């Protein structure tokens, strides 16, 4: 059976599985739609949390970034891993005990203010749409290569699939679908990694192969990769180029932004008790660690194979995978010197992403642009393809290539569904039910949630078609917005009895507006600006940390200048922090 047939078979089978689960677990009430009826087993909830957490950014893009920038890409690995630990161990149990299953609901109740709730809804929508843009882009990338359609068509297909099982099943359907998606994605990630680790180092454990020697020699894998990189004019793979302050700020933004991500927080409300929520957090950490400890190895394997096969090779002799990804519009080669040989070195080959010709050029090249840059580099490779192309670069069997296609789609679709549910919940429950239409019936509330999810799918698709950056970078912006808006409000809401509504609202607005403005300015208005123009040398990916600091400062100052929270709110905060068994939420 040829590879393309296997791809259709694997992807079709997993889609049928997801749709079947959605039909079987369709939500019949708002409780099932919002929090799956609070009846999910801790192990299954841990797997669903892992799938929700390990988005297209983790599965597709994180190893891609590390493979291109080496040590500097470690900020994503450190920030996202540390962030989940912070959320799971330090914040989630308190939020679960409080008993409110959305961040806006927590903010509204804790800060005794509908205004605070509305501000939180706006923050949720900003964060979720920024995050979901990366997921839909990931869906488009996978479809463009494996189903041989363009990226925009792939995004539309992904929209249809997500719409079906998120709108129909709600949190109940999404939870059990994500259990299946976790199994698919972790198997799809690990199998190629094990294969390639064996091929390069002779060790079947990728984490050990990463630090091992190249099979049959005394040369360490990373030493070989450093040599290949410097020979072609790239930076040494194991050396970083980012400043210490930027590394710190990006890592911190990703870490504390995690604690404010609404689609992950809601996962801790789908188990029967607080004790089960803690258990599911532990299981999720274990399930997530399997992929996160493998990602650096996958990045190094992919980069080593790429630099060993493509540079200084005649286009007529390049492997078939190169031309396949070129047809998908994710690899671009322009023969600047007319010698028919692919020159790959440091520097951007084009002004922006390349345009692609319908007919190949004289030497077979497909990338055409009116503004090639002056450097010698002729090759453009989209960072987001490295994990997906890895099995093909290593010449693995067709079924492994089909498996990675199914895994990439599972990663993107699982998180997209969770984010869309958060958006629809914020609109139907926090905006309509709790503000504009308090007497709305449960049936109409459920209908409103589904309509909101449908509209959100369409908007998310547009973001996927016109993404602001590559997948992991888009997701990093979402984490920055979450860090600057929600994290201070959640932390002070749990641990400070003196924080009042005025302080929380002012802090959220300042943090969100500052961070959003900074990102828009340096990514869209003045994208060529370098570190010398950034505030304190902090990149847009890390500015959420500074936004968080502004949020804390403004919140504390405004709270001191305004009246203290009512006594019952202070008592409520005290009750959240003091354990009273491991049962349900504290009454209030």
Please spell the DSSP secondary structure of 459-480, one letter per residue.
Answer: HHHHHHHS-SS-HHHHHHHHHH
Tokens of 400: 């492994």
Helix, strand, coil abundance in the chain, percent, nearest 5: 70, 5, 25
Q: For residue 36, is it left (φ>0), alpha (ψ between -120 and 50) or beta?
A: left
Q: Which of 328, 464, 509, 305 is nearest to 390 (CA)?
A: 305
Q: Which of 270, 223, 283, 243 is nearest to 84 (CA)?
A: 283
> According to the model, what pLDDT value does residue 467 have?
64
- Neighbouring residues of 103: CB distance < 8 A, sequence distance ≥ 6: 120, 123, 124, 260, 262, 265, 486, 490
> According to the model, what pLDDT value does residue 63 have?
86
Q: Give CA–CA dist 467/250, Å, rounded.
A: 21
Tokens of 369: 């642009």
Specify whether the CB–CB gap between 170 and 422 falls below 8 A: no
Phi, psi of 264 (to 5 degrees): -85, -40
Distances (CA, A) of 176 to 138, 198, 334, 408, 563: 22, 34, 46, 18, 46
The verdict on domain 3-303+394-469 having CATH code 1.10.3720.10 is no
Tens-digit pLDDT string for the chain (588 aa)? 778 888 888 888 887 887 777 777 665 555 555 555 566 778 888 888 887 777 777 787 788 888 888 888 888 888 888 887 887 777 777 777 777 666 777 888 888 888 888 888 887 777 777 777 767 777 777 777 777 777 778 888 877 777 776 666 556 667 777 788 888 888 888 999 999 999 899 889 999 999 888 877 888 999 999 998 898 888 888 887 888 898 899 899 888 887 666 667 777 777 777 778 778 888 888 888 888 899 999 999 999 988 988 888 888 888 888 888 887 777 888 888 888 888 888 887 877 666 666 666 666 666 766 667 778 888 888 887 888 888 888 888 888 888 888 887 777 776 677 777 777 777 776 677 767 777 777 777 777 877 877 787 788 778 777 765 555 556 667 778 888 888 898 889 888 889 998 999 899 899 989 998 998 888 778 877 777 888 888 888 889 899 999 999 999 999 999 998 998 888 888 887 765 544 444 433
> Quick one: three-class SS letters along 288-327?
HHHHHCCHHHHHHHHHHHHHHHCCCCEHHHCCHHHHHHHH
Distances (CA, A) of 21 to 36, 183, 359: 13, 14, 44
List every span in the chain annotated with CATH 1.10.4160.10: 3-303+394-469
Specify whether the CB–CB gap between 515 and 484 falls below 8 A: yes
Q: Give CA–CA dist 125/133, Å, rounded.
A: 12
Distances (CA, A) of 127 to 93, 249, 284: 22, 19, 22
Give the side-chain half-sphere CA count within 13 A for 579.
6
Specify whether the CB–CB gap between 177 and 34 falls below 8 A: no
Instruction: Please state the separation of Cα 314 from the chain's center in Å.
Output: 37
- Round to the nearest angstrom and report the end-to-end CA distance of the chain: 62
Phi, psi of 381 (to 5 degrees): -130, 120
Polymer length in residues for the chain: 588
């Amino acid at each position: 059976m040829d590879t393309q047939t296997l791809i259709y078979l694997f992807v079709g089978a997993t889609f049928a599985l997801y749709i079947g689960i959605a039909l079987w677990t369709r939500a019949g009430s708002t409780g099932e739609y919002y929090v799956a009826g609070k009846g999910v087993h801790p192990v299954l909830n841990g797997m669903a949390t892992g799938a929700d957490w390990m988005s297209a950014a983790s599965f597709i893009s994180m190893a891609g970034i590390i493979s291109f920038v080496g040590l500097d890409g470690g900020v994503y690995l450190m920030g996202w891993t540390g962030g989940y630990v912070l959320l799971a161990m330090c914040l989630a149990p308190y939020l679960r005990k409080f008993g409110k299953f959305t961040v806006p609901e927590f903010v509204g109740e804790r800060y005794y203010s509908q205004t605070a709730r509305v501000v939180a809804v706006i923050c949720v929508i900003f964060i979720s749409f920024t995050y979901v843009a990366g997921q839909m882009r990931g869906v488009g990338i996978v479809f463009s290569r494996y189903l041989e359609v363009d990226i925009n068509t792939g995004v539309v297909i992904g929209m249809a699939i997500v719409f079906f099982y998120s709108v129909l099943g709600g949190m109940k359907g999404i939870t059990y679908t994500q259990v299946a998606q976790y199994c698919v994605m972790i198997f799809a990630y690990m199998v190629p990694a094990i294969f390639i680790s064996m091929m390069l180092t002779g060790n079947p454990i990728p984490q050990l192969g990463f630090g091992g020697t190249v099979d049959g020699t005394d040369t360490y894998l990373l030493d070989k990769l450093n040599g290949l990189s410097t020979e072609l004019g790239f930076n040494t793979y194991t050396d970083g180029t980012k400043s210490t302050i930027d590394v710190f700020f990006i890592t911190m933004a990703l870490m504390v932004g995690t604690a404010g991500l609404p689609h992950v927080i809601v996962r801790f409300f789908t188990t029967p008790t607080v004790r089960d929520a803690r258990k599911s957090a532990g299981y999720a950490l274990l399930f997530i660690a399997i992929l996160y400890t493998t990602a650096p190895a996958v990045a190094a394997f992919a980069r080593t194979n790429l630099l060993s096969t493509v540079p200084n090779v005649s286009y007529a002799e390049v492997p078939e995978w190169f031309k396949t990804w070129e047809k998908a519009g994710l690899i671009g080669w322009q023969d600047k010197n007319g010698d028919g040989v692919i020159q790959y070195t440091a520097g951007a080959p084009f002004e922006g992403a390349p345009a692609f010709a319908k007919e190949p050029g004289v030497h077979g090249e497909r990338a055409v642009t009116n503004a090639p840059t002056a450097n010698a580099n002729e090759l453009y490779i989209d960072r987001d393809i490295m994990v997906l192309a890895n099995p093909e670069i290593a010449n693995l069997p067709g079924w492994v290539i089909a498996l990675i296609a199914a895994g990439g789609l599972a990663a993107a679709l699982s998180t997209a569904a969770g984010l869309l549910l958060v958006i629809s919940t914020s609109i139907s429950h926090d905006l309509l039910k709790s503000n504009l239409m308090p007497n709305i019936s449960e049936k109409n509330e459920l209908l409103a949630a589904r309509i909101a999810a449908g509209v959100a799918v369409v908007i998310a698709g547009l973001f996927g078609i016109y993404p602001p950056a590559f997948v992991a970078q888009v997701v990093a912006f979402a984490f920055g917005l979450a860090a600057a808006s929600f994290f201070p409000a959640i932390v002070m809401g749990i641990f400070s009895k003196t924080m009042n509504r005025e302080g929380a609202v002012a802090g959220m607005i300042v943090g969100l507006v500052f961070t959003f403005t900074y990102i828009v300015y340096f990514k869209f208005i003045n994208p060529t600006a370098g570190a010398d123009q950034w505030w304190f040398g902090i990149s847009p990916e890390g500015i959420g940390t500074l936004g968080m600091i502004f949020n804390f400062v403004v919140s504390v100052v405004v709270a001191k200048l305004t009246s203290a929270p009512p006594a019952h709110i202070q008592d409520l905060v005290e009750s959240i922090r003091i354990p009273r068994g491991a049962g349900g939420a504290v009454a209030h």
